Amino acid sequence: MLQSANNAWAQCTARDVLQNQLKLKTRSAQPPQQPIKSARDVATWKTITIGTFADLIRLRNDMDRMGCNIGGQAAEILARPTFTVTSHKTDVDLVALSPAQLGFTSDTVSLATVYARARQLGFELAAAEVGPQLRIQYLDQPMGEFLIIGMEPIKKWSGEPIILNVANGGAGLILIGQDGRAGAEIPVTSRFVFARPHRPAPSTELEQAATFPP
């Protein structure tokens, strides 16, 4: 009972910190950031490996073993049949950026608009598995940091779309869920995690390869 109470307290505390942080970001003035013109302009923030667990049960057990909490909404979508893990190990290059860096100047912007701009610049939505994998592979996350996973929303049993947020709200490391509706308003100072696509070989290299037969 004590362990359950501690987990519930941690989840509620992280949720309250996230709500307070979002309110603060919409009110606080931030220095202008140089807009990104292309995915090539952004350095890889972190590379993680997905496909290291046979199923979500083992992944969740590893999160528990490492002391990473899971919020109620996140736990619900992790239990949905549409939340799957890949069957083979794959390295994923991630970038972390804000809507302001994508060129938005208003206080908030809709989730769908953020996704559209990110794709236009050459970024990709991350697989759902990136959320829990990043949580267990980012144990030195600084306190007060919240990273929204740019992913396709997954619906709860009630039908509400949810996306994941890898957070350290001061009550420990946690994976929480947040509003994943297309029209959900996101502060432009929030930070998103997107996937960097694997770059094809330059055209000159492709032409050289075609010149020399195998």
pLDDT at position 16:
54
What pTM did the predictor assign? Answer: 0.80
pLDDT over 60 (residue 209)? no
pLDDT at position 132:
98
As a whole number of angstroms, the distance between CA 103 and CA 110 comes to 13
* Amino acid identity at 135: R
pLDDT at position 3:
44
Average model confidence (pLDDT) for the chain?
84
pLDDT at position 35:
87
pLDDT at position 197:
85
Residue 62, exposed/middle/buried by CB under 10 A (0-12, 13-18, 19+)? middle
Pairing assessment for the beta strands 90-97 and 173-179 based on DSSP bridges: unpaired
As a whole number of angstroms, the distance between CA 37 and CA 1 comes to 52
Give Dmax (Cα) for the chain. Answer: 70
CA distances from 180 to 109, 117, 128, 150 (A): 13, 17, 13, 10
Tell me if 104 sits within 8 A of 131, measured CB to CB.
no
Arithmetic mean of pLDDT, 149-178: 96
Of 134, 146, 137, 190, nearest in space to 171 by CA: 146
Q: How many other β-carbons are positioned within 10 Å of the β-carbon of residue 194?
A: 29
As a whole number of angstroms, the distance between CA 207 and CA 134 comes to 38
Residue 71: pLDDT band (50, 70, 90) is very high
